[in-house]
Amino acid sequence: MNEELIRQWVSKKAVLKKVKSEEADLRIKICESILKGKTKGTETAVVGNFKVKAKAKLNNKLEKETLKTLWKDLSDEEKECVKIEPKLVAAKYKKIKNSALLHQTVISKPGMPTLDVEVISI
């Protein structure tokens, strides 16, 4: 294992965190000045040599417990607005001894590895 690689990673991770935060702050300021309080839609502005397009978005999500409670009372039209997707409960799946049938439906692929580094001495 190369300690220098770990040092580089720790450094880059810190830089990335700082730069991502700074970029987000700048993006918010620029968009606020172009959108002027608009919460949905797109506005375009020319600033010096730049044509800037800012898009305001509203993210919507369902509150699951309320949806469960109200589901039976929703109209068919309302129910069509809800997409229900199967999701594997990995912890329970791992406990199944004979899961040949379900196993046919599971696609496994490598995920991005995680890394946790603690400085123990300098």
Q: What is the mean pLDDT of residues 48-54?
A: 95
Confidence check: pLDDT of 50 > 90:
yes
Per-residue pLDDT, 46: 95
Q: Which residue bears the tokens 């929703």?
A: 74
For the chain, the 3-state helix, strand and coil shares in percent, each to the nearest 5, are 45, 10, 40
Inform me whether the pLDDT recorded for 98 exceeds 80: no
Q: Which of 66, 58, 52 is nearest to 38 (CA)?
A: 58
What is the structure's pLDDT at 84?
92
Specify the pTM: 0.69
Q: Which residues contact 6 (CB under 8 A, 6 or more apart)?
A: 117
Confidence of residue 122 (pLDDT cuts 50, 70, 90): low
pLDDT tens, position by position, 101-111:
888 898 999 99
E-only strand ranges, the chain: 41-47, 50-56
